[in-house]
Amino acid sequence: MATSRTNSDAVVQVDLEATVRRSSRNVLTPTRFQYSAEIATDIKKKRTTPTTHNDKKRQNSRKDIKEEDDVKNSAVECTSGGHAGLSSYELERLENIKQNQAFLSSINLFQATEELKQVTRPKLSKRRLMRLQAAVEKGVPVRKSLRLQSLTLPPKPRETQICGLSHKRPPGPLLMKPVNMEDEAKLPSQLLELFSEVSTEDRKELSLTEYCSALKNMKTTEDREVIVVNKRLVCAAFHPCTSSLLMATGNTFGNSHESIHSLKFKHCLLCVSVHPLQKQYFAVTENKRVNIYDSRYLKEKKSKTVSQLHGHSLSIHGAYFSPRTGNRVLTSCMDDYIRIYDTSAMTKKAPLLTSIRHKLQTASYRTRVSAVWDPKQEDCFVVGSTSKRHIVKVFHESGKLLHSFVDRDNVTSVLYVTAFHPTRNALLGGNASGQLHVFSD
C-alpha cells in the first residue's frame, strides 16, 4: 500500500510541474477555500450591517496597503529569483518594477507619502470661529504664519474712472501727413504752429438770452468764402485753436481712421458717434434704428446693444451724443423729423424727448443734411434746410427756434454740412460743391 501511494503522489507531482511549465497567461492558479464558523459569521455581519463612512475609509486604506505589499512582494520575488516558469514579458515587467521601486526609494517618496498622510489639517470648531469673528469686529489683528507674512503680493491695478473725466487732446504736436502734395513740397511753418496750438480756454455755457444775442452778431462776407475740395463735401469741422480759424473738410474719398472695430451689419452705416465721457459707448445708425454698443463687448456677429432708439420710419443719416455730458442723442431722419432722446440712464429703450418737423429729404447723389450740437452749448444744435437754399437754423432741445442765419447775397445754395467752433463764436456751412461759408462775429 505504501508503494502505491508513493506512485500516486509522484504522478500528481509530475502533473503539477507540467502545469507550471506552461505559460502563466493561459493557466490560472487554483484557489483554495477554507470554511470555518468565524468566516461565516463575518460574512453574515457584512450582509446585515450597513457600511459607514469610517468603514469605507478603513477598506480603502487596507486596499492601498495591500497594493503596496503586492508591489513590494513582486519586487522581492523578482530579486529573490522566485520567477520560475514565467515568460520573458513577465520577467521584463518584474525588472521594471524593481527599477521603479529602487528609484522611488532613492527620492524618499514613500516616506513623504507617509508624512503627508499623518499631517491632517484640523477643522475649526464653532468656538474657534466665534473667537476669530469677534477679533475681526474688535479690530484685533489676526495671527498669520511666518510663511504668509513673508509673501509680498503685487500691487492692485489702478482703476480709472471714465465717467468723471473730461476728454483732453494728448499733449504735444500731432503729425501732419499731406497726401495731395508733391514729394518736395512742404507745409508752411505757420500752419504747423497753428495746428500744434493747444487751447486752454474752457468756455462756460451762456443763458439762452446771451446765446441768442451772440448768434445775431455772427455774419458772413465774401472774404469768408473758399472752395476747399473739388468733389462733393460730406463733412467739416473746426480746429480748437483760438488765434485763427482752422477748418478741416472731407469729400467722398474720406479725413484716416483712429481705430478699427470689425462688425458685420445688414445695412450700411451712415453715422458713428462716441460718448464724450464714457468712451466705450458709441452710437451707430442702422437703417431705421439707432443702436448704442459697448466697444468692450463687441463680437463679429450679433453684438448685444446697450440701448436702442426707436421711432424712425425712414433711413437715419445722423445720430450724435450731446457734447458735454452725452445725456442726449440728436438724430436726423429722412422722414423730415429731428428727434432728441434721453440717454442719461442708458436703458434698453431710450425715451423720446422731442420731435421737430424739419425738411431733410435729399436725393441719393446729394450730401445728407444732419443736425449737429453746438459744443459750447449742451442743449442747442444747428441744421441746414433743403427747402430754402440760404437758411441755417439753430434750435433748442425743447424744439424752440433760437436763430436763423440768412444771407441771400453770399449764400445761394443749400448748406448741407454745418459745424460750430468749440470755443469761439463761429459757424461754418458747406455746400455740395466743396465751398465753405463762415459766420463769425
Q: Domain spans of the chain?
A: 34-113, 204-254+268-440
What is the average pLDDT across 7-20? 42
Task: Give the up-direction half-sphere exposure of residue 147: CA atoms within 13 A in the CB hemisphere.
Answer: 0
Residue 11 pLDDT > 60, yes or no? no
Element (H, E) at 272: strand 269-274
What is the average pLDDT across 360-367? 76
Residue 331 pLDDT > 50, yes or no? yes
What is the average pLDDT across 374-401? 90
- 173 vs 196: CA distance, rounded Å: 5
What is the average pLDDT across 156-178? 49
- 347 vs 307: CA distance, rounded Å: 6
| Fold (CATH) for 204-254+268-440 | Methylamine Dehydrogenase; Chain H (2.130.10)
- In terms of pLDDT, which residue wins out, 380 or 123? 380
- 338 vs 396: CA distance, rounded Å: 12
Is pTM, for the whole model, over 0.75? no
Provide the pLDDT confidence category of residue 162 given band limits of 50, 70 and 90. Answer: very low
- 308 vs 326: CA distance, rounded Å: 15
- In terms of pLDDT, which residue wins out, 307 or 260? 307
Give the pLDDT score at 333.
92
Q: Name the one residue in this structure whose C-alpha cell is 441755417.
A: 392
Give the pLDDT score at 5.
46
